[in-house]
């Protein structure tokens, strides 16, 4: 084990104490599951089932032929009762398959994915995406460009977002699945080694992983420092290499996956099990914070109820963590593959609502905090003017949307939202990440 770091970043209170000692338990099966067809970056799936059809747990209910995509599977045995459109936590409207579960569920039984010639094909068939929140299809990462040799696989076990503990509990309770996933990924891409990176506020998880790791899997303990788990910062911390502007992370010889993704890959390869559920942390202003193994498509309300309901003065409900998560419009919004947490943020920790941009006082705190060496204040100013050329000159597309700038800004400028708007405009007109 060793420690390393990266420049920039911030140190928000981690707020993990409420749920970090809560063992993973299964969430209740809801009366109705709403399974969105868009649970990943890339092309959305189209339903492959019809209303009235009986489906098996693990059966494909949504698919598409696009390379950057991932199929969607039924999390239960049940009946398709509707094809609907739902709002996701991101605010995007998506098609969804509504399934009414059968009365009795055998979670050990499922429709296995078919055998395939490669790990990447198995992972695609299993519908696995990045479970740290990015939701990039994992099979695409397992097929790097032929001119980019991967020598190091890095598993992200940092879980640097405040409040969230789902990855912590997974590493602590099921380290064998995580290590097996690391070994499978390493062999699949021909890497010479695998590293599992864990922040030093999780010594028990690092010890659990170290106890079951073989000679080809190392556990690196990194400083607790947000955003340590961001892909580019993790590569810099572990390998001492920066991802060149405009290049893929694979250009450094590294491939990064979340620990939850690795465990799901192990299940796909060893058990032929598709991705149908994930661990979700439910915490903040709830009566009994928990880490819940949750069927995909479960309404957030079910998880909040299982955690004892909301308590006290809740300022905002968030899907994900407070730094990068999305505000929930209501608790009917379903859990998807990228939902790592449901956080009831206390009112005193909720930034005041702002309308548009705020005056910049030129304090440069956002510049010091930015782990990508950007000047967020300037990008925000140009974005507020819809001057996209200006945002491109200041390299808005290099922003990883970690939220450090907004966190550090003393005037609460909505910098992340402004930069996100700029990135969307630049990509619409053809600029490349």
- CATH number of the domain residue 249 falls in: 3.40.50.11540
| pLDDT at site 5 | 62
Strands 25-26 and 78-87: unpaired
* Predicted confidence (pLDDT) at residue 326 exceeds the cutoff of 50: yes
When pLDDT is averaged across residues 358-364 and rounded to a whole number, the result is 89
| pLDDT at site 6 | 80
Q: Is 198 part of any domain? A: yes
Token pair of 243, please? 């991802």
When pLDDT is averaged across residues 177-204 and rounded to a whole number, the result is 96
* Predicted confidence (pLDDT) at residue 184 exceeds the cutoff of 90: yes
Q: Is cis: bond before 157, omega within 30 of 0?
A: no
| pLDDT at site 14 | 94
Q: Which residues contact 43 (CB under 8 A, 6 or more apart)?
A: 64, 66, 68, 69
| pLDDT at site 92 | 87
| pLDDT at site 2 | 43
Does residue 387 sit in the same domain as residue 267?
no
* Predicted confidence (pLDDT) at residue 90 exceeds the cutoff of 90: no
Select, from the ranges 51-55, 104-108, 313-317, the one with the highest average predicted confidence (pLDDT): 51-55
Between 2-11, 72-81, 138-147, 367-376, the lowest mean confidence (pLDDT) is in 2-11
When pLDDT is averaged across residues 124-148 and rounded to a whole number, the result is 92
Does residue 378 sit in the same domain as residue 249?
no
* Predicted confidence (pLDDT) at residue 3 exceeds the cutoff of 70: no
CB 198 within 8 A of CB 206: yes
Number of structural domains the chain divides into: 2
Dist CA 62 CA 337 (whole Å): 14
Domain end call among 225, 246, 271: 271
Dist CA 194 CA 214 (whole Å): 10
DSSP one-letter code for 409: -
* Predicted confidence (pLDDT) at residue 4 exceeds the cutoff of 60: no
Phi/psi at 305 (5° precision)? -65, -40
pLDDT tens track for 215-267 = 889 999 999 999 999 999 999 999 999 988 878 889 999 999 999 999 999 99
Domain end call among 234, 250, 271: 271
Domain that holds residue 402: 365-428
- Residue identified by tokens 């420049």 is 7
When pLDDT is averaged across residues 382-393 and rounded to a whole number, the result is 94
Q: Is 226 part of any domain? A: yes
| pLDDT at site 350 | 83
Element (H, E) at 277: strand 277-284
pLDDT over 70 percentage in the chain: 97
* Predicted confidence (pLDDT) at residue 356 exceeds the cutoff of 70: no
348 vs 111 pLDDT, higher one: 111
| pTM given for the model | 0.94
* Predicted confidence (pLDDT) at residue 357 exceeds the cutoff of 80: no
When pLDDT is averaged across residues 103-121 and rounded to a whole number, the result is 95
When pLDDT is averaged across residues 6-15 and rounded to a whole number, the result is 92
Q: Is 309 part of any domain? A: no
Instruction: Indicate the pLDDT class of residue 125, thresholds 50, 70 and 90.
Output: very high
- Can you list the alpha helix ranges (DSSP code H) found in 280-333? 300-306
When pLDDT is averaged across residues 289-314 and rounded to a whole number, the result is 97
Does residue 266 sit in the same domain as residue 376?
no
CB 160 within 8 A of CB 64: no
Token pair of 30, please? 């809801």
* Predicted confidence (pLDDT) at residue 138 exceeds the cutoff of 80: yes
Domain end call among 252, 271, 290: 271
* Angle (nearest 5°) at CA 139 between 247 and 211: 95
| pLDDT at site 258 | 97
Q: Is 73 part of any domain? A: no
Q: Is 302 part of any domain? A: no
Does residue 129 sit in the same domain as residue 265?
yes
Token pair of 73, please? 């599977």
* Predicted confidence (pLDDT) at residue 361 exceeds the cutoff of 70: yes
* Predicted confidence (pLDDT) at residue 306 exceeds the cutoff of 80: yes
* Predicted confidence (pLDDT) at residue 318 exceeds the cutoff of 50: yes
Greatest Cα pair distance in the chain = 61
CB 195 within 8 A of CB 152: yes
Does residue 264 sit in the same domain as residue 369?
no
Q: Work out the mean pLDDT of the chain and round it to a whole number.
A: 93
Dist CA 118 CA 142 (whole Å): 10
CB 228 within 8 A of CB 234: yes
Q: Is 111 part of any domain? A: no
Q: Count the alpha carbons within 13 Å of 363 in the hemisphere toward its beta carbon.
A: 14
Chain-centroid distance of CA 172 in Å reads 19
Q: Is 148 part of any domain? A: yes
pLDDT over 90 percentage in the chain: 84
Q: Is 176 part of any domain? A: yes
CB 178 within 8 A of CB 208: no
Q: Residue 345 forms beta bridges with which residues?
A: 316
Does residue 258 sit in the same domain as residue 138?
yes
Q: Which residues contact 307 (CB under 8 A, 6 or more apart)?
A: 282, 283, 286, 287, 288, 289, 290, 292
When pLDDT is averaged across residues 342-352 and rounded to a whole number, the result is 88
* Predicted confidence (pLDDT) at residue 196 exceeds the cutoff of 80: yes
Does residue 257 sit in the same domain as residue 399?
no
């Amino acid at each position: 084990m060793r420690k390393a770091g990266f420049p920039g970043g911030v140190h928000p209170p981690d707020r993990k104490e409420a749920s970090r000692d809560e063992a993973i338990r299964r969430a209740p099966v809801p009366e109705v599951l709403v399974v969105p067809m868009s649970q990943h970056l890339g092309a959305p799936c189209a339903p492959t089932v019809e209303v009235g059809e009986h489906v098996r747990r693990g059966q494909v209910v949504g698919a598409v032929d696009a390379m950057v995509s991932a199929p969607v599977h039924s999390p239960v045995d049940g009946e398709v009762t509707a094809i609907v459109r739902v709002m996701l936590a991101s605010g995007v409207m998506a098609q969804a398959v509504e399934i009414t579960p059968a009365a009795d569920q055998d979670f050990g039984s499922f429709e296995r994915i078919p055998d395939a010639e490669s790990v990447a094909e198995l992972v695609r068939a299993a519908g696995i995406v990045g479970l740290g929140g990015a939701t990039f299809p994992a099979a695409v990462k397992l097929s790097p460009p032929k001119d980019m040799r991967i020598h190091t696989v890095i598993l992200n076990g940092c879980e640097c977002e405040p409040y969230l503990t789902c990855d912590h509990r997974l590493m602590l309770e099921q380290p064998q699945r995580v290590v097996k996933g690391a070994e499978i990924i390493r062999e699949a891409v021909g890497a010479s080694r695998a590293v599992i990176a864990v922040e030093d506020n999780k010594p028990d998880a690092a010890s659990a992983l170290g106890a079951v790791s073989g000679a080809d899997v190392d556990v690196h303990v990194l400083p607790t420092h947000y955003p340590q788990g961001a892909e580019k910062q993790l590569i810099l911390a572990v390998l001492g290499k920066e991802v060149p502007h405009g290049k893929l992370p694979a250009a450094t010889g590294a491939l990064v996956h979340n620990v939850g993704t690795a465990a799901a890959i192990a299940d796909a390869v060893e058990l032929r099990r598709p991705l149908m559920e994930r661990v979700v942390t439910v915490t903040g202003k709830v009566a009994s914070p928990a880490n819940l193994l949750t069927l995909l498509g479960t309404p957030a309300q079910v998880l909040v109820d299982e955690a004892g309901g909301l308590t006290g003065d809740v300022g905002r409900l968030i899907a994900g963590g407070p730094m990068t998560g999305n505000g929930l419009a209501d608790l009917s919004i379903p859990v998807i593959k990228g939902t790592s947490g449901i956080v009831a943020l206390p009112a005193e920790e909720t930034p005041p609502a702002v309308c548009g941009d705020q005056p910049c006082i030129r304090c440069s705190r956002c510049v010091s905090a930015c782990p990508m060496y950007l000047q967020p204040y300037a990008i925000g100013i140009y974005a507020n003017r819809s001057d996209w050329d200006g945002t491109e000159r200041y390299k808005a597309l290099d922003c990883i949307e970690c939220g450090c700038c907004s966190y550090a800004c003393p005037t609460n400028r909505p910098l992340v939202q402004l930069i996100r708007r700029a990135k969307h405009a630049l990509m619409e007109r053809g600029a490349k990440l």
